[in-house]
Structure 1
């Protein structure tokens, strides 16, 4: 029912806004993008066989053709291309895309049709992070060792932050505060009124996108023995956000809900998607404080009474922080906590706490540099072993970065 309602509202909005559109309108094509380079240094307990330094980079560009009709209707499309594929050699590098949609906007608001993230991703309100590259909350996690080897017996290498419930649900990490999930969907944003804006989306399934068609109610992403099923269908989202200024005080807030049905798996059933997010920010005289909570509950977990993971805690991500901006300089810091069901083989939960401080400097328009320090403590749910010792990890990370936006 929700999917038909949203699709119908989008069609009505487009029809009302189109009127007698000018078929001769000329398209303007805009090209923009961003890139970053990071150099990281790591000192951690579980560092056997790991280097202390590493570097990485990412490049994205947007191609946006758009036009405006005589009646005021604006319409066009957008594709965002990414060159950041993880690779171990020349043959492994390739270019992909994570946004590709048609849009139309006017007095009715904006409609997007195609591959895109959730409305929550567009309007997220959480801790302020202008000292980090391009809204990336969890960059430090990539330097923590990339997970463990040797199963549950060890030896343990790196922080236990991959896999599990949060790592299995598409687009998530142990410190990512939005719903993520770039999929083919219908999205709608209302006009902003007195600071308030509404958003909604419908997605047939979150593990199928682009030109692919998959009408199956089943998924190959999980089996009856899986702890987590990351595939959901008939996903719907409702979002309200607020952005307003009162004199020198800037207020932002957001609340979102995201629901969907777990895809069918022969021989087992899994918990449906039932997630919410809420956040707020207050800014005054260059200072901004804010935070958010993102809760996935037990979404995707196996319902089997024989599975240890049935009795594990829900997945939650907390963010809290502050920053100060003075001209081209931004300094800030924050705290992140993520917890979820952890290992698929045993009962319990795992937890990651990250404490961060950083600074960024705009050298010239579109070009900046920055530095940050992260201290992390990863409490694993995997028990200590004679071979692997403790599976808990802690450490420090220093990251230097440069950014370019055009």
Structure 2
């Protein structure tokens, strides 16, 4: 029922906005994007077979055709092309965003492969010394022992967003912002289906399975607030997402998706202080005899100071999941981080960060701790 209501609301908003739309409108095409080059040094206890240094880079290009009708309706599309490593380092290019949009006094509707509402608007600690909002990216450098929890497809143990469907085809609605408050919702038929793919099959599991991160009929609702009072900036967000896991399997109990998020941020005179908390519960885990399930959650708190072209900050991140579902206990990752950024010129930034991490794994042989140093240059255009 929820998906029909959301789809109907999106269709009604588009119909109301269409009115006397001018079919001869001229499209403007904007091209933009971002790129980074990053160098890293890692010193960790569990380093057998691992090198200490590595480089990586990425480039993304946004192509946005848009037009505006006589009645004020704005409409268009967006595609984000991304240079990827690909399987076996084949250096492929993919499109991780591709959607149609329409916006007006009713708000904005997106249809296609897009961020969900909360993934686009969630609030957490300010970390402008990190690249392009990649708050959890340090996990890519520390070679975490793999977790078989499989709780939420595509989400890191430190990810502050509740969206496991960012690269799936969906409908998203953003309301107009009124007195600082914005509401929104999204519907995703299946979180492993995107672009031209048609997947009408229901997610399946087995009696022997421990988890399944594929969900259907995912619905997300949320709200965010952004306002300024006497020089004090206040930001906050809250969101909830639910969806169905695999069909019933006799003797098994795959838990449906249930996730929620809260975040807040306060800024004054260049200083900001904030944090966020997210909880996935036991989403996707098979709560049956012989499987050791645990709640997945993470939280972050941090502060930063910005003056002119310089930003400095520090934060603490704590993520916990079930680790190996064949072993009792959970997996916890703690990260202490400091960083600095310097804007050399408009669109060109240099950054450096240091992270100390401590991993406590239910498989005790996989406990680990160490240090990560990263330096990077970022281009945004």
The TM-score bracket by the shorter chain reads over 0.9
1:278 corresponds in structure 2 to 262
Does the Cα contact within 8 Å between 1:107 and 1:191 map onto a contact in 2? yes
2:240 corresponds in structure 1 to 257
Runs ≥4 residues deviating over 6 A: none
Alignment partners' CA distance in 2, 1:230 and 1:282: 35
| 1:199 corresponds to 2:174 | no
| 1:398 corresponds to 2:381 | no
Q: Could you tell me how far 1:118 is from its partner in structure 2?
A: 1.3
Pick from 277, 284, 308: which aligns with 1:300? 284
Alignment partners' CA distance in 2, 1:257 and 1:168: 16
2:74 corresponds in structure 1 to 74
Pick from 335, 357, 381: which aligns with 1:376? 357
Normalised to the residue count of structure 1, the TM-score between the two structures is 0.91
Aligned pairs for 1:45-60 (under 5 A) are 45-60=45-60
Alignment partners' CA distance in 2, 1:3 and 1:301: 24
Alignment partners' CA distance in 2, 1:265 and 1:130: 45
Aligned pairs for 1:324-343 (under 5 A) are 324-343=305-324
Q: What secondary structure does 1:79 align onto?
A: strand
Alignment partners' CA distance in 2, 1:73 and 1:103: 11
Q: Could you tell me how far 1:203 is from its partner in structure 2?
A: 0.7
1:225 corresponds in structure 2 to 208
Q: Could you tell me how far 1:75 is from its partner in structure 2?
A: 0.1
Per-residue deviation, residues 37-92 of structure 1 (Å, max 9, x unmatched): 11000111111121010111111111000000000000000011111234544xx2
Does the Cα contact within 8 Å between 1:44 and 1:394 map onto a contact in 2? yes
Q: Could you tell me how far 1:224 is from its partner in structure 2?
A: 2.9
Q: Could you tell me how far 1:265 is from its partner in structure 2?
A: 6.5
Alignment partners' CA distance in 1, 2:53 and 2:88: 16
RMSD (CA atoms)? 1.3
Aligned pairs for 1:2-151 (under 5 A) are 2-89=2-89, 92-145=90-143
Q: Could you tell me how far 1:164 is from its partner in structure 2?
A: 3.3
Q: Which runs of 5+ in 1 are unaligned?
A: 146-158, 384-389
Does the Cα contact within 8 Å between 1:118 and 1:179 map onto a contact in 2? no
Q: What secondary structure does 1:13 align onto?
A: helix
1:243 corresponds in structure 2 to 226
Q: Could you tell me how far 1:128 is from its partner in structure 2?
A: 0.5
Per-residue deviation, residues 215-265 of structure 1 (Å, max 9, x unmatched): 11234xx54322211011111011110000012100000000000010226
Q: Could you tell me how far 1:266 is from its partner in structure 2?
A: 4.9
Q: What secondary structure does 2:3 align onto?
A: helix
Alignment partners' CA distance in 1, 2:153 and 2:12: 31
2:173 corresponds in structure 1 to 188
Alignment partners' CA distance in 1, 2:56 and 2:206: 34
Aligned pairs for 1:349-360 (under 5 A) are 349-360=330-341
Q: Could you tell me how far 1:138 is from its partner in structure 2?
A: 1.4
Does the Cα contact within 8 Å between 1:223 and 1:265 map onto a contact in 2? no
Q: Could you tell me how far 1:116 is from its partner in structure 2?
A: 1.1
Normalised to the residue count of structure 2, the TM-score between the two structures is 0.96
Aligned length: 378
Q: What secondary structure does 1:133 align onto?
A: coil
